[in-house]
Amino acid sequence: MAGAGNGRVVIEANLLPAGSLSILCGGAGDLLDHLQSGDVVMFTGSAATAERLRSHDAFRAGAVRLNVEADSLNASILGPDQGPDSPSFDLFIREVVREMTLKAGQKCTAIRRVLVPRAHERALTEALIAESQKVIVGDPSNPTVTMGPLASAAQQAAVREGIQALAADAQQIYGSKDVQLVDADPGSGAFVAPTLFRATSRSRLVHTLEVFGPVATVVAYENEDDAMRLAKTGGGSLVASVFSSDTAFLARAARDLGAAHGRLLLVDPSIGNSHAGHGIVMPSCIHGGPGRAGGGEELGGLRALWMYHQRVAVQGAADVVAAVREGGIDMSGADKK
């Protein structure tokens, strides 16, 4: 019921015209059985659920339009030129922890894999732990709290199960089941502490399992090619961010990672304190993600409305086309050749 609660907050704040927001929370039941040509379904969630949707007759045989944004093992990369005393090091640490804990890590664009030069792995993990220790978990209405609970007890159980699975494949370096809470009762809220792992050379699960909560894994790379390879091992992601002072490296990263990602954030010190953030897409920025990320689009602003429009090309003599336009069909955005 988290969606309903958030909807009430928006309505009570009078942010939108009356009646423009409608939210129905609950099971889908037989809703998909009633889909027909011309309908559109927009889905955000796990790859497993997306696969169940795609197998439904409405999409498989009926060609109902389905846009999928699925789970994504998004990576953030610290460039090989960035050591502990470099301009981007602290910016990188701050961004990783912010993205790991914002909305308690329950957002599809959160950082899941932290790719760092092997030479700086120890310094970076120590800095990440120190920054994570500053996170205050509890009731979000308390102004000192910086991370609230997960959306439900079921998701809390799923995150704990994922943490246990990762612990068999990587080294847990920070996090505890007994989280210290502010103004909150552990028994009445779905709280999970920020949790960090360090991948070993044998780790494989960190590139295939997304734990949908405040969990991230540090993965050391040997050189630039290795960093790009590891980022793409996620099988297709919504977003990757790259932090470096080397413009040429940032450009190479964009060319190398572009085919495997829907969006790339390239951060040098000049925008270190002004960029929107790894996980925040601007309303007019169209992105999605290939492969595991669903192959769909994440849309914002007016551009999102095109997902609900049918497009038709009209050909004919000039006077016929003019008559069509005069009849009320708006072709202002069409190719009129």
Q: Please tell me whether residues 245 and 98 are part of one structural domain.
A: yes
DSSP H or E run through 125: helix 121-132
Domain range enclosing 7: 1-34
DSSP state of 110: S
Positions of the chain with pLDDT under 50? 1-2, 335-337
Q: Residues 173, 196: contact at Cβ < 8 Å? A: yes
Counting the structural domains of the chain, the total is 2
Residue at 155: amino acid letter = Q
Looking at the structure, do residues 2 and 126 belong to the same domain, yes or no? no
Spell out the alpha helix ranges (H) of 243-317.
Answer: 247-257
Global pTM exceeds 0.75: yes
β partners of residue 5: none
Task: Please check whether residues 146 and 286 belong to one and the same domain.
Answer: yes
Same domain for 19 and 94? no
Answer yes or no: do 110 and 213 share one domain: yes
- Residue 207: phi and psi, rounded to 5, are -100, 0
Both 82 and 221 in a single domain? yes
Q: Report whether 73 contacts 47 (CB < 8 A).
A: no
CA neighbor of 9 nearest in space, from 213, 145, 1: 1
pLDDT digits (tens, 9 = 90+) for 7-53: 677 788 888 888 877 777 777 889 899 998 888 898 888 888 888 89
Q: Is residue 89 part of a domain?
A: yes
Q: Can you give the pLDDT at residue 220?
A: 97
- pLDDT at position 132 is 96
Catalytic residues: 69, 108
Residue 118 neighbours by CB distance under 10 Å:
12
Q: Is 122 part of any domain?
A: yes
Looking at residue 330, its pLDDT comes to 57
82 and 193 share a domain? yes
User: How many other C-beta atoms lie within 10 A of the C-beta of residue 325?
Assistant: 15
